Structure 1
């Protein structure tokens, strides 16, 4: 992508910083309102998620293989700790979904209404960097990436209970850290799929864990279909992610795209000595320059963005297989259990008769 710095001098600081990072394959500008801001560049180092995932995976396998089966977290206090862990992740996942989904889907809808399929495609590909230069979206995506580090506490709880950790659990957590890390670092637009879909499923899943631990009622439909929902997430999300590799932006420029995406633009009132209306028009003009430069080009503009998509897709293929195997095995066990229940009245009668 051509360097547009001179043409974009009137744009907001965050937009200019985001564009510069994209052009130079650098780290995205740090969002406001994140936790541990001093560690931002450490977590976005290319080796951080890889090293963490490798250490986590092999440590888990070693501890699992040498487990003595003894439950080390018995008692009410530990139960409270486990419940609070699950409750935190349920609430956090719901917050992530509520923060990201309306932002993204409303932008898709406004773009389609304003410019039809052309506008929707440009927004789907974030051709004007409306999403990645938006502080809310980048903050939510970054915190979601950090949450993948914290989620390995699930594995620690399983090990502390003296249980073995299967390949599904260890592969799931290790791959999620790498996949989301590279998606965020490269500012790859398919990251929204991971954020929205996964946060929706996790809000349900962790709420179920809380309800189960506290012996509270939980919707039977959701309980029975959690694994189905996860598999659907992988199939639909993976297909959407792959589509980014093949989509090309339309050859026509959307006429009303910037007006449709105006709610996403940040830093509109930076110090230019102009009125807010003037600043907004300058921001629109700057983003129009970028959109015009990208007309007819690829949806993904850098090798790093394409690499992030491939990492995600290659991660999802084995993960979907593992979940399908888990689902089939669980279904078989359920069918066997129901068969035993059906035969139990006859067996009971024969025992009583004797």
Structure 2
């Protein structure tokens, strides 16, 4: 199963990477698919019964109350609050480290080999300059991010279709990316780690009872990354000589994942924020407000 991994162009020995010793297990397709199926199955089984009221309306009302309060007293136990805070703080710090480690690699490749080679990484320069290890750890982090869903269930709330699809699809997409090393994946690593740094920092604060403003901007940033990511991935496929057949297949898997995810995020944003969200993307704020 792993005889073709890593790709021959990648000169990094997986055993020398952080947590590389488990790569012989986690980089097996059967392990990945069974993990995703187990995650989806357990989440479906553990879901609390659906509330008859509108989830988006209740959530929006809860957020409005929190904004007015500024700081609210947590209704959870101190131990659970500490767990949620440390979980989000860890992911915020890890995401920040990933971004500050990966972005300079891309810039260095572009500076030394030109924009097209940097965009496509035709020579696998970025992958062999540290990106391969960063992407592998990023793939592993997608398993740990399942704790996000565990926290939701522990709070007695249901995991939405967006939540479940997002986490399961991220594991599949990153597996394909690390397995074949297409250029589109380092966009995912760099941009997604940047947004996660901000997002998990935000949630670390909310876990302590603070209510920072601008959650709709986080959602807008996530939607924007999907739009540009889809454009990046599509370009890497159609640009002559940019990637090989295996890379195109991995990129296609990511596109298949990203398109429904974009729809789910936009639907969530419209339901949650309504006109406030639409005005963020409107060229005519007054007209949107009137509408």
Instruction: Note the alpha carbon deviations across 1:139-174, whole angstroms, 9 max, x for none.
Output: 111100000000000001111111111100000000
| Counterpart position of 2:18 | 34
* Structure 2 residue 265 is the aligned partner of structure 1 residue 323: yes
The separation in 1 between residues aligned to 2:133 and 2:49, in whole angstroms, is 40
Instruction: Note the alpha carbon deviations across 1:194-236, whole angstroms, 9 max, x for none.
Output: 1011101111111001111224474x45x33010000001000
Identify the range of structure 1 (99-108 vs 225-234) with the bigger mean alpha-carbon deviation.
99-108
Instruction: Note the alpha carbon deviations across 1:164-198, whole angstroms, 9 max, x for none.
Output: 11100000000000000110011222110110111
Aligned residue pairs, count: 251
Instruction: Note the alpha carbon deviations across 1:216-270, whole angstroms, 9 max, x for none.
Output: 474x45x33010000001000111011111112xxxxxxxxxxxxxxxxxxxxxx
| Counterpart position of 1:193 | 187
Q: Is the 8 A contact 1:211 1:217 kept in 2?
A: yes
The separation in 2 between residues aligned to 1:54 and 1:240, in whole angstroms, is 29
Residue in structure 1 matching 2:31, options 43, 48, 52: 48
Relative distance call for 1:20 and 1:311 in structure 2 (3 A) is closer
Relative distance call for 1:155 and 1:320 in structure 2 (3 A) is same
Q: Is the 8 A contact 2:135 2:189 kept in 1?
A: yes
The separation in 1 between residues aligned to 2:153 and 2:101, in whole angstroms, is 33
Residue in structure 2 matching 1:306, options 245, 248, 252: 248
Residue in structure 2 matching 1:242, options 225, 229, 234: 234
Residue in structure 2 matching 1:62, options 39, 45, 68: 45
Residue in structure 2 matching 1:80, options 70, 79, 82: 82
The separation in 2 between residues aligned to 1:125 and 1:66, in whole angstroms, is 47
The separation in 1 between residues aligned to 2:5 and 2:252, in whole angstroms, is 24
Cα deviation for residue 38 of structure 1 reads: 2.3
* Structure 2 residue 288 is the aligned partner of structure 1 residue 332: no
Scaled by the length of structure 2, the TM-score of the pair is: 0.79
The separation in 1 between residues aligned to 2:49 and 2:30, in whole angstroms, is 29
Q: Is the 8 A contact 1:108 1:123 kept in 2?
A: yes
| Counterpart position of 1:170 | 164
Q: Is the 8 A contact 2:47 2:158 kept in 1?
A: yes
The separation in 2 between residues aligned to 1:159 and 1:230, in whole angstroms, is 23
Scaled by the length of structure 1, the TM-score of the pair is: 0.66
The separation in 2 between residues aligned to 1:201 and 1:147, in whole angstroms, is 15
* Structure 2 residue 187 is the aligned partner of structure 1 residue 204: no
Secondary structure, in 3 states, of the residue corresponding to 2:13?
coil
Q: Is the 8 A contact 1:190 1:309 kept in 2?
A: yes
The separation in 2 between residues aligned to 1:41 and 1:166, in whole angstroms, is 32
Relative distance call for 1:333 and 1:240 in structure 2 (3 A) is closer
* Structure 2 residue 73 is the aligned partner of structure 1 residue 131: no
The separation in 1 between residues aligned to 2:5 and 2:143, in whole angstroms, is 28
| Counterpart position of 1:9 | none
The separation in 2 between residues aligned to 1:333 and 1:163, in whole angstroms, is 26
Ranges in structure 1 where 5+ consecutive residues have no aligned partner: 1-18, 112-118, 249-297, 336-354
Q: Is the 8 A contact 2:110 2:117 kept in 1?
A: no
The separation in 2 between residues aligned to 1:46 and 1:104, in whole angstroms, is 28
Q: Is the 8 A contact 1:46 1:182 kept in 2?
A: no
Cα RMSD after superposing both structures: 2.6
Ranges in structure 2 where 5+ consecutive residues have no aligned partner: 52-74, 278-291
The separation in 2 between residues aligned to 1:62 and 1:333, in whole angstroms, is 35
